[in-house]
Chain A
Amino acid sequence: MANKMSMLPAPNLSPKELGKYELRISDCRLQILGSARVSRVIFGVPPKNSLSAIKFFMSEITTTAPPPTIEIPSREKLTKKAITADHPTWCPGCGDFAVLASFYKVLEKRQLDHEKIVTLAGIGCSSRFPYFVNGHGAHYIHGRAVPLASGISLARPDLHVFLFGGDGDGFSIGGNHLDHGARKNINMTYFIMDNFVYGLTKKQTSPTSPIGFKSKTDPQGAIDQPVNPMKKLIAGGATFIARTHATQVKHMMEMIERAFDHQGFSVIECLSECVEFFPDVFDPADPKKGGSFEVIQEKKWDNTPEDELRHDVTDELAAYKLAQLPFPGVFGVFYQSDRPTKNALEKKWIDNTREKTGGASDLELLQKTFDRMK
């Protein structure tokens, strides 16, 4: 049973891997040294006197059964090395390298539990991302990674769900899922590397390709109105919407951290250049290439006259107006709201329902249902 301790979901009954097992039950702390084996855990109110409490719990511990052979090492610091996996398959100079580097840096900075980091993606160049992160993860099918991530997020609130993808995956084949993930406000951090082109399949028009872009599927130049990602996300109901640029690492990291800290469906659109099939397209927003990277000035609510001109991130219409600006537009947080997540609303329903059942076991609940069908 000792090696199954980590299965127990109760927050005050979890193992702390300190080179030995530690069993903590409310205010009574009991350390099991060496190869002790917990055969049974009694849930209930322990005796008040701490010595008798230890005796109380000791009575439930036997040392006869063989101990688990796995030695749980203490947790090491999460380093870049620990979270680096395969070398990326991206072309040299691809904007996605900077995104990966920024993601490593955020993980290092936040020191999340390694096993609780989950990176997910659909299909595309940028969707190879999970292969380059050493952590639990999945490389799913084209366009459907949002609902996959939604399932993980809803069932496992203990995990940190990061989703990566491109413009084709997110705005074209997965466009409907993006809208509904946003509407339902499912808690996750979704990073979209937008390069305005299909790169993995070698230069076809993408949903964000500008009119006139010549590709293999639009040899005369693209004629379809491109998707405006900010407008789509605002209309969809995403509760954290930001825009950044792969050459602006500091800004990118700030956006990742703010998106991560936000409770809800957080999306970052990052202009990430495809050097192979659509080079230089984002130069107008890169100061090093003569462009200007204009950052949204957010309201500080300091009652100054300057503040009047600053952007209120909770104002949907103001966000929509920012999204109307001609390319390359502005960067930063367009919109943020604290609308309750589906995660929280489902949990509330579960908690209310469980309360009504009076803590009945699963067996008792189903038996009761069957009794009504007799």
Chain B
Amino acid sequence: MPENTSTPVLPETDAANGAPTGAPARADLRPENIQDAVIRLAGNSQDGIQTAGAFLARLAGRSDHDVMTYMTIPATISGGPSIFQVRIGSGEVLSAGDEADFLVAFYQHSYQDHIDFLREGGVLLYDSDNVEPNLDDKRFVYVGVPITGLTVEALGGTAKDKGKNIFVLGLISKIFNLDAEKLKKLITEKFAGKDESIVNTALMAFQAGYAYPVGKVLTHHYQFEKIERTGGRAQITMDGNQALAYGLIAAGVRYGAGYPITPWSSVMETLRRELPKYGGIFVQAEDELGAVSLALGFSYSGYLAVTGSAGPGISLKAEAVGWASMAEIPLIVCNIQRGGPSTGLPTNVEQSDLHQAIYGSHGDSPRVVLAAASVEDCFYIAIEAARIARKYSTPVFILSDTSLATRIEAFDEPDLSKLMVDPKPDLTPREGGFKPYDLERITQHIPPGTRILDGKYPLIGGLEHDEMGHPTGSPKLHMAMTAKRRNKLRKLAEEIPVPEVYGDQEGDTLLVGWGSTYGPIHDAVKMGREHGEQMGALHLRHVHPLPNGLEKIFAKYKRIVTVEMNDQGVYGFGQLATILRARYCEPKIQSVTKTDGLTFRVKEILQGVFPGKFVSVRGYSPNRPVSGNGEQDVDVARAESIAQGVG
């Protein structure tokens, strides 16, 4: 360690003290105003690139930029190639970006694997100690910096490459003229509570990166356009699993149980840590069956509870969820979907559990299924799921997925004073003649501890029962009770708002999506319309039951195409398309599906929806005019294979 351990001084004090988004006069780099930038950091998972990327995301959130991140993590326990992509925008950011404007390559494999994601004219920033790029390829701007050497030099010692991530963060903040003071504050906050020397080391690494004379190799720096926010609320930055966990807390969920599985685990970790503050308990159960049963015990006791998992665990919970449907006990079940079947692709994204969520128990066991559209929506959908579960005394699935779980977005801070729900059970004594399964109305579960004044207590069970809960084999009662459980969902369908269509309100093509495809689908509509296509997008948050009135929207378009990350199946349609076709008997409903374990790129959607078109588009980049250059530089075979998904 160098002797000087005090906080290093910024070499360019004007930048340090300047206004957050003002452009200080700098001789070394010419400013270029941009609205949007996609920065991809590619390295190995132990390099801390997620940490560096998260700093950028949080800074963008604090600076009122819209931000979205995308990351891949290897399924191996430690190490392996990994990326973190941050898209920062001055306008609305809906997808993580098809192409990077700026690629940081830590290793040769990072360069080789990701150079194709860099747009023409984009900047490759590489560690010249580890990477030898093909400088003859004139499509890109090359910026070689001896990142490893300089980090070791700055921090002293050979700390096994630690600190490279923060060094790069310093470099990036210089190039993009980011607010260094805010970043240093974020770094200090992040490492606060740890050894002071760690904070100092991190700040030194940042400083070394920031001070690097990048002007020698780069002719201009970038400047995000200043944003004037009209809304009053500050932005908060978090990932989808955090948003889901805090949404559940706001919804008055105080108890839950789970079993670790990727990518659900971080929800249960957050709840295990946070719930005791609110007087609640989250139990790590012995298995998935125990987890759902504990959650049902909590719910039965009067506290609406949550359990969750990814597909494999949801399969194990299926019997108990059927019991909840039969016994009419409220429950929230989160499925953070990953690639299936079986162990499948544990760290990739897929939307192949929709049918499992809707139908995944034996017998007719109706349950509600909601799907979060974005990180922000993970928060609000938890509140809605809890409201529905309580009102209809039924299990409610929340579908999220790997991409929502791991990506970080900035969004307007929710107004908690209007949203917080009181978790206390209602133990008001009930009058005599109380029927737990009254056929005349939607019944709510009465928790134990409630006095029933005529002394006749309800028995809740999985056997078919009469209105008092007694077992019955009566065919008439089984039909009546099956209808009672199903009609709750029909009643709910009446109160679900019909979603608004984005883009053209009528015409050629309506894209229909559910879950995390919200952003790419909307960007596809934006781009398609810029190319003269007449198209709109409809996004379903309520997947089961569907809201009433969709048929009126569908009637206005020539084609309805669902966009889904699942297989087209034996009959050629994605899982949502299959349901929509069954519901509306409408042959014009088709689907674009894919199962590569990656989020949809905007051009993939357009190529799939419009076979033969958009093949020359290299990708959706907000910084570039959208017209193609006539050269077919995409993998045509790949585009065709996607297009085959159109049924």
B427 close to A136 (CB less than 8 A): no
A116 close to B449 (CB less than 8 A): yes
**Which residues from chain A contact B456 at a C-beta distance below 8 Å?**
134
Instruction: Give the distance in Å from the alpha carbon of A76 to the alpha carbon of B279 in the complex.
Output: 34
Instruction: Give the distance in Å from the alpha carbon of A135 to the alpha carbon of B450 in the complex.
Output: 10
B276 close to A131 (CB less than 8 A): no
**Which residues from chain B contact A114 at a C-beta distance below 8 Å?**
451, 455, 457
Besides A72-B429, A85-B459, A180-B285, 7 other A-B contacts (C-beta < 8 A): A3-B429, A9-B424, A70-B431, A86-B470, A115-B450, A116-B449, A138-B459
Instruction: Find residues 448-502 in chain B having any chain A CB closer than 8 Å to their own CB.
Output: 448-453, 455-463, 470-471
Q: Which residues of A contact B (CB under 8 A)?
A: 3-4, 6-7, 9, 70-73, 76, 82, 85-86, 114-116, 118, 130-131, 134-141, 143-156, 158-159, 176-177, 179-180, 346, 349-350, 353-354, 357, 362-363, 365-367, 369-370, 372-374
A4 close to B428 (CB less than 8 A): yes
A150 close to B277 (CB less than 8 A): no
Taking A70-B453, A141-B319, A350-B281 as contacts, is the C-beta distance between A148 and B293 under 8 angstroms?
Answer: yes
A89 nearest in chain B by CB position: B471
A115 close to B459 (CB less than 8 A): no
Residue B274 at the chain A interface, CB threshold 8 Å: yes
Measured CB to CB, the closest approach of chain B to A266, in angstroms, equals: 17
> A156 contacts which of B58, B302, B470 (Cβ < 8 Å)?
B302
Instruction: Give the distance in Å from the alpha carbon of A153 to the alpha carbon of B285 in the complex.
Output: 15
> B429 contacts which of A9, A70, A137, A155 (Cβ < 8 Å)?
A70
B463 close to A149 (CB less than 8 A): no
Looking at B295, B461, B470, the one whose CB has the most chain A CB atoms below 10 A away is B461
Looking at B298, B455, B470, the one whose CB has the most chain A CB atoms below 10 A away is B455
B236 close to A366 (CB less than 8 A): no
Looking at A136, A367, A374, the one whose CB has the most chain B CB atoms below 10 A away is A136
A147 close to B297 (CB less than 8 A): yes
B326 nearest in chain A by CB position: A141
B416 close to A138 (CB less than 8 A): no
Residue B320 at the chain A interface, CB threshold 8 Å: yes
A151 close to B257 (CB less than 8 A): yes
Residue B425 at the chain A interface, CB threshold 8 Å: yes
B457 close to A135 (CB less than 8 A): yes
9 contacts between A and B (CB under 8 A): A137-B459, A140-B296, A147-B286, A148-B293, A156-B302, A159-B448, A180-B290, A365-B277, A367-B416
A134 close to B62 (CB less than 8 A): no
Q: Which residues of B contact A (CB under 8 A)?
A: 58, 61-62, 189, 234-238, 246, 249-250, 255, 257, 274, 276-281, 283, 285-287, 289-291, 293-303, 305, 319-320, 323, 327, 413-414, 416-417, 420, 424-431, 447-453, 455-463, 470-471
Instruction: Give the distance in Å from the alpha carbon of A152 to the alpha carbon of B294 in the complex.
Output: 8
> B449 contacts which of A156, A177, A372 (Cβ < 8 Å)?
A156
A151 close to B455 (CB less than 8 A): no
> B277 contacts which of A86, A151, A353 (Cβ < 8 Å)?
A353
A7 close to B298 (CB less than 8 A): no
Instruction: Give the distance in Å from the alpha carbon of A82 to the alpha carbon of B451 in the complex.
Output: 13
**Which residues from chain A contact B297 at a C-beta distance below 8 Å?**
147-155
**Which residues from chain A contact B62 at a C-beta distance below 8 Å?**
374
Instruction: Give the distance in Å from the alpha carbon of A76 to the alpha carbon of B452 in the complex.
Output: 13
Taking A138-B300, A159-B449 as contacts, is the C-beta distance between A82 and B455 under 8 angstroms?
Answer: yes
Looking at A72, A138, A154, A176, the one whose CB has the most chain B CB atoms below 10 A away is A138
A15 nearest in chain B by CB position: B429
Measured CB to CB, the closest approach of chain B to A164, in angstroms, equals: 13
A154 close to B283 (CB less than 8 A): yes
B293 close to A140 (CB less than 8 A): yes
B426 close to A7 (CB less than 8 A): yes
A179 nearest in chain B by CB position: B286
Measured CB to CB, the closest approach of chain B to A242, in angstroms, equals: 24
**Which residues from chain A contact B413 at a C-beta distance below 8 Å?**
370, 374
> B323 contacts which of A141, A153, A176 (Cβ < 8 Å)?
A141
Taking A148-B297, A373-B237 as contacts, is the C-beta distance between A354 and B279 under 8 angstroms?
Answer: yes
Looking at A86, A141, A177, the one whose CB has the most chain B CB atoms below 10 A away is A141
B236 close to A370 (CB less than 8 A): yes
**Which residues from chain A contact B299 at a C-beta distance below 8 Å?**
151
A150 close to B420 (CB less than 8 A): no
**Which residues from chain B contact A349 at a C-beta distance below 8 Å?**
276
> A180 contacts which of B286, B327, B414 (Cβ < 8 Å)?
B286
Measured CB to CB, the closest approach of chain A to B555, in angstroms, equals: 43
Measured CB to CB, the closest approach of chain A to B477, in angstroms, equals: 16
A6 nearest in chain B by CB position: B427
A374 close to B460 (CB less than 8 A): no
**Which residues from chain A contact B280 at a C-beta distance below 8 Å?**
350
Measured CB to CB, the closest approach of chain B to A10, in angstroms, equals: 12
**Which residues from chain B contact A372 at a C-beta distance below 8 Å?**
189
> A151 contacts which of B276, B295, B449 (Cβ < 8 Å)?
B295
A148 close to B296 (CB less than 8 A): yes
Taking A3-B428, A6-B427 as contacts, is the C-beta distance between A176 and B300 under 8 angstroms?
Answer: no
B463 close to A139 (CB less than 8 A): yes
> B298 contacts which of A85, A135, A155, A373 (Cβ < 8 Å)?
A155
A151 close to B294 (CB less than 8 A): yes
A373 close to B293 (CB less than 8 A): no
A158 close to B277 (CB less than 8 A): no
A357 close to B300 (CB less than 8 A): no
Instruction: Give the distance in Å from the alpha carbon of A153 to the alpha carbon of B278 in the complex.
Output: 18
Instruction: Give the distance in Å from the alpha carbon of A363 to the alpha carbon of B246 in the complex.
Output: 11
**Which residues from chain A contact B301 at a C-beta distance below 8 Å?**
151-152, 155-156, 159
Measured CB to CB, the closest approach of chain A to B445, in angstroms, equals: 10
A7 close to B425 (CB less than 8 A): yes
A342 nearest in chain B by CB position: B283
Taking A72-B429, A366-B249 as contacts, is the C-beta distance between A130 and B459 under 8 angstroms?
Answer: yes
6 A-B pairs with the lowest CB-CB distances in the bound complex, closest first: A151-B297, A136-B448, A139-B461, A147-B293, A180-B286, A147-B290
B234 close to A156 (CB less than 8 A): no
Measured CB to CB, the closest approach of chain A to B293, in angstroms, equals: 4
A115 close to B451 (CB less than 8 A): yes
Measured CB to CB, the closest approach of chain B to A72, in angstroms, equals: 6
**Which residues from chain A contact B287 at a C-beta distance below 8 Å?**
176
**Which residues from chain A contact B455 at a C-beta distance below 8 Å?**
76, 82, 114, 134
Instruction: Give the distance in Å from the alpha carbon of A180 to the alpha carbon of B257 in the complex.
Output: 14
> A72 contacts which of B276, B425, B453 (Cβ < 8 Å)?
B453
Taking A131-B471, A370-B413 as contacts, is the C-beta distance between A151 and B255 under 8 angstroms?
Answer: yes
Measured CB to CB, the closest approach of chain B to A4, in angstroms, equals: 6
Instruction: Give the distance in Å from the alpha carbon of A71 to the alpha carbon of B429 in the complex.
Output: 9
**Which residues from chain A contact B234 at a C-beta distance below 8 Å?**
374
A115 close to B449 (CB less than 8 A): yes
B462 close to A177 (CB less than 8 A): no
B429 close to A136 (CB less than 8 A): no
B279 close to A350 (CB less than 8 A): yes
B320 nearest in chain A by CB position: A141
Measured CB to CB, the closest approach of chain A to B437, in angstroms, equals: 13
**Which residues from chain A contact B286 at a C-beta distance below 8 Å?**
147, 176-177, 179-180
A150 close to B459 (CB less than 8 A): no
**Which residues from chain A contact B450 at a C-beta distance below 8 Å?**
115, 136
B458 close to A140 (CB less than 8 A): no
Taking A144-B293, A151-B295 as contacts, is the C-beta distance between A72 and B451 under 8 angstroms?
Answer: yes
Instruction: Give the distance in Å from the alpha carbon of A273 to the alpha carbon of B314 in the complex.
Output: 38
Measured CB to CB, the closest approach of chain B to A107, in angstroms, equals: 13
A151 close to B305 (CB less than 8 A): yes
**Which residues from chain B contact A148 at a C-beta distance below 8 Å?**
293-294, 296-297, 300
Measured CB to CB, the closest approach of chain B to A8, in angstroms, equals: 9
**Which residues from chain B contact A176 at a C-beta distance below 8 Å?**
286-287, 290
